[in-house]
Structure 1
Amino acid sequence: MNSNFVRHSRKGFTLVELLVVIAIIGVLVGLLLPAVQAAREAARRMSCSNNFKQIGLGLHNYHSAFAQFPQQMGGTYCCTGAGAQGDNSYLLSWLVGILPQIEQQGLWEQISNPLALNGDGSAKSPPYQAMGPVPWDTNYTPWRTTVGTFRCPSDPTIGTAGQTGLNNYSACIGDSIQTTHTGGINNDGTVADAGAKSRQRGVFESHFSTRFRDILDGTSNTIACGEIVTDAGNLEINSQPKMNQRDPFFFDPELCYRDNVDPARPQFWLDGNETGAADQRRGKRWADGRPMFTSVNTVRPPNKESCLWGGDGSDGTYTMGSRHQGGCHILMADGAVKFITDSIESGNQNRATLPKAGQPGEKSPYGLWGALGTKAGKETESLE
């Protein structure tokens, strides 16, 4: 008797083979994930640079239309006391002025005309004046609006509902500390310190307007604006300022850092003392023209600390910084956007026995970094 046996084979993976494949996939994912993350950050950094380029075009278009740059700390003033009659006490930032030049005409129309609505939608009687109230008024809808072009995609900080809008780009006011918060001008337009204007050596000057003709060092060698980090409340030195530092801080800009930084974590403050309220920190009010919120100077290198002589309306070191690894973007006066590393040469940071930093007529004490921040210092340094 013949028996025919048909042998059927069943194809498949053994358990060992399956585990090997899973292990290989895991290794590949581990190798590729950093590259993916790096590619995402590169895309965010490019988007940030594009935002800055758009702002630069807005500045140039504004100058073409009005033969000057938008004023840092401009607006309206009526009576004694900040916002006494609904005015903004000459405290509006340069960012308000360029809104129409960066395709924000709708927001500009709200600001430049009387507005009869509060932020919660209720009626406002009498209406807000044209150009709005003081920039910390959270009942005013435009000040609560965050403009996408003013935000860097690499900065994850999210604004608090009902609070003022955030910002990552600020105007360069030079390499000086003293009186750059007012330019020596009172909020009613009267002169408080006649010598203060000469200490404002940047493209932007608080309470004054500047033109291309004022940039004697050349627009390609002079910083117009710089990137800043929006504070997230984490005691980071590049976003959460130290206030009430007083003298001899003016004479020795590094003193604030040495006295207050955590030696074990040098990118953080040792404690939260003198760091201001949550809305008194970097990048918290894009419409506020006071240096704390929308200005930078070239005293301390990028991603170092910001320190103030007094409160949020006083002068100090307003330092550039970013969430990008190793540096930050700057916008040159000719419209070019460049990336500056934290290690840029910044001169003598300890001037304890010298005059106050950034005085009229002196060569910038802060090396290449300081020279880039001045518009008419006759320095020959450039980034090329």
Structure 2
Amino acid sequence: MYRPWLTTIGTLRCPSDPGDGLPAQGRTNYAFCLGDAIQQTDEGYTSVSGFKNSTRAQRARESCRGAFVPRKTMRFRDILDGLANTVVMGEIKTDLGDRDASTELIKSTTENILRTNPGVCGSQRDPERPAFWLQSLGSGFAFTGGAERRRGYAWSFGNAMNTGFHTILPPNSEICASNWVNASGGSSNGAYWGEGVYSTSSRHQGGVHVLMGDGAVKFVTDSIEAGQSSHATVRQGGTSADPVFATTPGSPSPFGLWGMLGTRAGKEVIDEPF
């Protein structure tokens, strides 16, 4: 293991987060905004093995709507909605090994269901302790295990699980993935997670801090208007009413104000405070 990648850098830590040491590989409390869609936001234009094709590129153009796109150089000029209206970074908690739903990843075993219902894993939160997962998950869900599937455990790892987030579910919501991706780009029990829904989170009461494109730091509450958590996402194969809002490529965000803030070129009009 490359020793610098195991080093904890104080600049990347939030004083409110008590997580420390192993099994993490250099903790971080800050992540990059991937937008309000799921498809292809795990790999972007290029697979983990460096494989490219026209289908992958088209899906990335349609769904990678955030300020950051995996394996692609992005610039301020790409943010057409205005720097003051676009979230570029946000807080994430690091996992403490306590089955926190916003830091320990679980898997939906139904292929691609997150694209059409990103809130599906919410049913597995303990109703008596909603910040945590049930101790025994229901049919169709599974704990992932392993330190590589815990939030904030590797600042050097550029995948969505470790250093990315979506503006789909409100802050401090659960994180959930759908399939494994191995080093050759195939589905297996590999070291990388594929598509998922990764939320912002923090140890602060009631919300998280986000960084806007113009450098402003704002506090976003857990109650920000975020549409319907079970609504389908914008993607290749989306429809004009899916089931309520359009999800065809280029459609406005179906996730309310929170979703709008996460897109770089959605052309939505943001006229309410947050």
Instruction: Indicate the TM-score class for this superposition, using the shorter chain for normalisation.
Output: 0.7 to 0.9
Match of 2:12 in 1: 150
Q: What's the CA shift for 1:357?
A: 8.9
Q: How far apart in 1 are the matches of 2:263 and 2:126?
A: 32
Please identify, of 304-313 and 333-342, the stretch whose mean Cα deviation from structure 2 is larger: 304-313
Structure with greater Cα Rg: 1
TM-score (norm 2): 0.83
Q: Choose the corresponding residue for 2:127, options 263, 281, 306.
A: 263
Contact 2:113 2:178 in 1 (8 A): no
Q: How far apart in 1 are the matches of 2:46 and 2:33?
A: 18
State yes or no: 1:201 paired with 2:71.
Answer: no
Per-residue deviation, residues 41-87 of structure 1 (Å, max 9, x unmatched): xxxxxxxxxxxxxxxxxxxxxxxxxxxxxxxxxxxxxxxxxxxxxxx
Q: How far apart in 2 are the matches of 1:193 and 1:381?
A: 31
Q: Choose the corresponding residue for 2:50, options 179, 184, 188.
A: 188
Match of 2:260 in 1: 371
Q: How far apart in 2 are the matches of 1:178 and 1:194?
A: 11
Per-residue deviation, residues 93-123 of structure 1 (Å, max 9, x unmatched): xxxxxxxxxxxxxxxxxxxxxxxxxxxxxxx
Where do residues 43-62 of structure 1 align in structure 2 (5 Å cutoff)? none
Secondary structure of 1:279's partner? helix
Where do residues 335-346 of structure 1 align in structure 2 (5 Å cutoff)? 335-346=215-226
* Cα distance change on mapping 1:359 and 1:151 into 2, 3 Å: farther
Contact 1:176 1:357 in 2 (8 A): no
Contact 1:233 1:278 in 2 (8 A): no
State yes or no: 1:237 paired with 2:90.
Answer: no
Equivalent pairs, count: 244
Unpaired runs of 5+ residues, structure 1, are 1-138
Contact 1:168 1:230 in 2 (8 A): yes
State yes or no: 1:248 paired with 2:113.
Answer: yes
Contact 2:211 2:218 in 1 (8 A): yes
* Cα distance change on mapping 1:316 and 1:221 into 2, 3 Å: same
RMSD: 2.0
Structure having the higher helix fraction is 1
Q: Which runs of 4+ in 1 moved over 4 A?
A: 355-359
Q: How far apart in 2 are the matches of 1:357 and 1:223?
A: 23
Contact 1:167 1:284 in 2 (8 A): yes
Secondary structure of 1:243's partner? strand
Secondary structure of 1:286's partner? coil
Match of 2:175 in 1: 306
Residue identity matched to 1:276: G
User: Percent same amino acid among aligned pairs?
Assistant: 45
Where do residues 112-123 of structure 1 align in structure 2 (5 Å cutoff)? none
* Cα distance change on mapping 1:194 and 1:140 into 2, 3 Å: closer
Secondary structure of 2:116's partner? coil
Match of 1:228 in 2: 92
Contact 1:174 1:200 in 2 (8 A): yes
Per-residue deviation, residues 234-278 of structure 1 (Å, max 9, x unmatched): 1111111112443433211111111x1112211110126423212
